[in-house]
Amino acid sequence: MPDAPPPRRVTLTDIARACDLSRATVSLVLRGSPLVNARTRARVEAEIKRQGYVYHRGAANLRRKVSNSVALVINDLSNPFFAEFAAGVDETLAEAGHVTLLGGTGESVERQQTVLASLLEHAPAGLILSPAEGSDAGRLREVLRPGLPVLVFNRELGDRDAATGWDYLGLDNVRGARLATEHLLALGHRRIAFFGGHRDSSSCAQRRRGYRDALAAAGIEPEPHWLVESAPTRLEAAGQTAALFLRDPAPTAAVCYNDAVALGLVAGLARRGRRVGEDFAVTGFDDIPEAAASFPPLTTVSVDPRARGREAAAMILQRLHAPEGAPITRVSPARLQCRASSDVRITDTPLHRATP
């Protein structure tokens, strides 16, 4: 017995015919126009419900060459930093009457291409992208439609020439890591590790640069085993803790790539019987909400991720209103937020806590 043909998709014309109205009037109802009186609107909405009509907003946007959506693609949705960042983006876009289309890539370049292709089917007005590690602007252009406004956040892209015309919002990674390292140096630490992140990531490379600059200014060359790589996650950072103690003398402090890494290191040190804030100093980067509530509270470089999300949204909205303007590059400031996790002073005597 042959398969039954699939049911025919209900169209705008079907709704208009059933209501004895023009397609234009039904379209105005679907778009929420105030030009349609309440009685007509109610009749159209009832017919839409009866027939099960589904409004294809993406197709409508393509026809009208406008969109009220902005795509936001994040490299690591499990990182609390990006949860705060995405919340800031969504708040500002909503205030401007836009909808956020969210996608995550899990640090996979191939997944990123797939996610972007899928989101672009909804014809977003613009894109905010925090690139996966190893992203290349040339490959991104293969999937992005020509002329799409793009804001790149946090990481620089390979093939910078291909990224010409895109806006960029970064964090002051170099200065932030330098501030954290200088703070530990001022407490007397001389064996300071840089813990976590992958050196091929532009943000990690910049933070390592700030760390090295501070050590160089103090006449210190970091030992190779002071530089410990890990995925920027709490779990992997905890698992890499032993790498700090493979050689003697071991570091007495660590500048961590981000707060998730720092909190993972705190847990890993506790399992080894080390007390952060008493016999080992730790700093993070980001100042996620959990940093202040952790035990001990985490010294970190504060970049206010929710504010950065609002800033990114404001920049893409500005680009939508002025698509022909010159590309904007902006680097947001970083400041050191001192808390108890780094409260360890090194002197000529055994370690003791720093006085407030």
Distance from chain centroid for Cα 215: 29
Residues with Cβ < 8 Å from 203, sequence gap 6 or more? 154, 155, 171, 173, 197
Q: Is the pLDDT of residue 350 over 70?
A: no
pLDDT of residue 165: 86
pLDDT of residue 200: 86
Tokens of 35: 């030009």
Nearest to 112 by CA among 139, 145, 79: 139
Q: Is there a domain that residue 4 lies in?
A: no
**2 occurs within a structural domain:** no
pLDDT in tens, 191-203: 999 999 998 899 9
The 8-class DSSP code of residue 280 comes to: B
Kindly report, residue by residue over 97-156, the tens digit of the pLDDT.
999 999 999 999 999 999 999 999 888 999 999 999 999 999 999 899 888 999 999 998
Is residue 135 situated within a structural domain? yes
User: Tell me, what's the pLDDT at 351?
Assistant: 42
144/273 same-domain check: no
- Mean pLDDT score of the chain: 90
Q: Is 283 in the same domain as 297?
A: yes
145 and 22: one domain?
Answer: no
Q: Is the pLDDT of residue 5 over 70?
A: no
Shared-domain flag, residues 204 and 130: no
Query: In terms of domains, do 325 and 342 share one?
Result: no
Q: What is the pLDDT of residue 243?
A: 96
Strand arrangement, sheet containing 329-332: 99-104, 69-74, 126-129, 150-153, 167-171, 329-332
Within-domain flag for 34:
yes
Question: Does residue 28 share a domain with residue 90?
Answer: no
pLDDT, residue 57, reads: 57
Please state the rounded mean pLDDT for residues 208-220.
98
- Whether the Cβ atoms of residue 336 and residue 175 lie closer than 8 Å to each other: no
CATH number, position 236: 3.40.50.2300
Give the mean pLDDT of 231-239: 94
Rounded mean pLDDT, 45-62: 73
Q: Is residue 28 part of a domain?
A: yes
CA distance 155 to 139: 16
Which structural domain, as residue segments, surrounds residue 90? 68-172+305-333
pLDDT for residue 36 is more than 90: no
Here the tokens at position 185 are 């140096």
Are 348 and 212 found together in one domain?
A: yes
Lowest mean pLDDT among 15-19, 301-305, 307-311: 15-19
User: Which token pair is 334?
Assistant: 């970083």
E strands, 107-249, in order: 126-129, 150-153, 167-171, 192-195, 227-228
What pLDDT does 352 receive? 42
Residue 61 is assigned to a structural domain of this protein: no
The answer to whether residue 64 scores a pLDDT higher than 60 is: no
- Are 36 and 83 in a shared domain? no
CATH number of the domain enclosing 20: 1.10.260.40
pLDDT band at 349 (very low <50, low <70, confident <90, very high): very low
Q: Are residues 264 and 242 in the same domain?
A: yes
Indicate whether 60 belongs to any domain. Answer: no
With 70 as the cut, is the pLDDT of residue 348 above it? no
Q: Is 312 left (phi over 0), alpha (psi -120 to 50) or beta?
A: alpha
Each residue of 77-104: pLDDT tens digit? 999 999 999 999 999 999 999 999 999 9
Indicate whether 321 and 266 sit together in one domain. Answer: no
Confidence label for 354 from pLDDT (cuts 50, 70 and 90):
very low
16 and 32 housed in the same domain: yes
The predicted-structure confidence for 258-292, as pLDDT tens digits, reads as follows 999 999 999 999 999 999 999 999 999 999 999 99
Residue type, 256: C
pLDDT confidence band for 56 (50 / 70 / 90):
low
Task: Look at the chain and report how many structural domains it folds into.
Answer: 3
**Domain shared by 25 and 133, yes or no:** no
Higher pLDDT, 52 or 33: 52
Q: Which uninterrupted H or E stretch holds 299?
A: strand 299-302
6 is a domain residue: no
Question: Taking the C-alpha atoms of 269, 271, 273 and 274 in order, what is their torsion angle to the nearest 10 degrees?
Answer: 10
Both tokens of 134, joined, read 């190893």
* Predicted pLDDT of residue 230: 94
pLDDT level of residue 1 (50, 70, 90 thresholds) = very low
3-state secondary structure of 292: helix
**Whether the predicted pLDDT of 7 surpasses 80:** no
Looking at residue 51, its pLDDT comes to 84
